[in-house]
Structure 1
Amino acid sequence: MLKGFRDFILRGNVVDLAVGIVIGAAFSTLVNSFTTSFLKPVIKLVDSSGGVNAGGWEISKDNFIDWAGFVNAVITFLLTAAVLYFLVVFPMNKLAERRRRGESPPPSAPSEEIRLLTEIRDALAGGARVPAQSGGPADRPGPDHPPAEHRP
C-alpha cells in the first residue's frame, strides 16, 4: 500500500499539479493585493471629484495607495515560490534524473525484527527446527507439550 502511495506521489503530474495549485493561490493573493493597493484608489479618484495631494502618497483623505501591503504580498509570493522550489521541485527533479539514469536510492537495511523473522521463516521452510528458548511456550506443559520430565 505504501509503495503504491509513493509511486502516486512520485509521478510528475501529481507534483506539478500540487505546485501549480499552491503557486496559483499565492499569485491570486498577489493580484488581489495589487487591485486593493493600486487600482481601487485610482478608480475612486476617477469616480470621485477628490484631488491629488502632491505632498505625499495620499490621493485623498479616505483614498490612499497602500505600497506596504503590495510589497508585503510580493515578498510573500517570492518566499512561497522559493520554498516550493527548494523543498519540492528541486528534490523531485533530482530524483527523476537519477531514475532516468537507472540509479535508485539504496534500500534501507531491514530492522532487526524483520531479519529475525526472515531467518525463522527460512529455517521453517527448510525443515529445520527452531530451538525454543527457555521460558517459551515449548517449556510450558500443555496439551501439545507434556511436562519436561515426560519428554523423550
Structure 2
Amino acid sequence: MFKGFKDFLMRGNVIDLAVAVVMGTAFTAIVTSVTKGVLEPLLAVLGGSSQLGFGVTLVAGKPATFIALGPIISAAINFVMVAAVLYFALILPMKTVQKRYLARKGADTDKPVPTDTELLIEIRDLLAERAAGTQNGSGGNGSEKESARVQ
C-alpha cells in the first residue's frame, strides 16, 4: 500500500500540480493588481472613486484617474518570490529525489536521445531495406508502387 503511494508521489505529477496551483494564485494577484491599478483608473476618468499611493495621475485635479503602480509592483515581487521559493524548496529537491529513485530502479536517465537527422537516416535505411527485399522477391509487406516511391 505504501509502495504504491510512494510510486505515485515519485512520478512528480502531484508536486507539479501543487506548484501550478500556488503559482496560479500568485499570478492571479498580479492580474488583480493590474486591473485595480490600471484599468479601474482609466475607467474612472469618467468619474469614480479616489486612489492614492505610488503611481501616475492621468488628469490633474481628478484623483479618480490615478494609476496606482505600487500594488502592481508588489504583486510582481510577490510572484517572483513565491516562484523562487517553490523552485528551490520543492522542484529542485524533488528532481534530485526523482533522479536517485530512477537510478535505484535501474532506469537509464542519461541515455542519449537521437537527433532528428539520426532518426531520419534510420528511417531511410529501413525503407531502403524494405524496398530491396521487395524487389529481390524475398518477401516484404510493400507493393511495387510503394517500392517505386521509396526509390
State the TM-score, normalizing by the size of structure 1. 0.55
Structure number with bigger Rg = 1
Aligned length: 96
Cross-structure match for 2:64? 62
Secondary structure of the equivalent of 2:44? helix
Matches within 5 A, 1:121-136: none
- CA RMSD, Structure 1 to Structure 2 (Å): 2.3
CA positional deviation for 1:9 = 3.0
The 3 A distance-change label for structure 1 pair 10 and 101 is closer
Cross-structure match for 1:39? 39
- Aligned counterparts of 1:103 and 1:94: Cα–Cα separation in 2: 14
- Aligned counterparts of 1:33 and 1:8: Cα–Cα separation in 2: 37
Q: Output the amino acid matched with 1:23.
A: M
Deviation digits for residues 65-98 of structure 1 (CA, Å, limit 9, x no counterpart): 1111110000001000000000000111111122
Cross-structure match for 2:87? 85
- Aligned counterparts of 1:101 and 1:8: Cα–Cα separation in 2: 17
- Give ranges in structure 1 of 5+ residues lacking alignment: 49-55, 105-152
- Aligned counterparts of 1:61 and 1:34: Cα–Cα separation in 2: 18
Secondary structure of the equivalent of 1:65? strand
| Bigger fraction of residues in helix | 2
Deviation digits for residues 48-76 of structure 1 (CA, Å, limit 9, x no counterpart): 5xxxxxxx822322331111111000000
The 3 A distance-change label for structure 1 pair 72 and 85 is same
- Aligned counterparts of 1:74 and 1:96: Cα–Cα separation in 2: 31
- Give ranges in structure 2 of 5+ residues lacking alignment: 48-54, 107-151
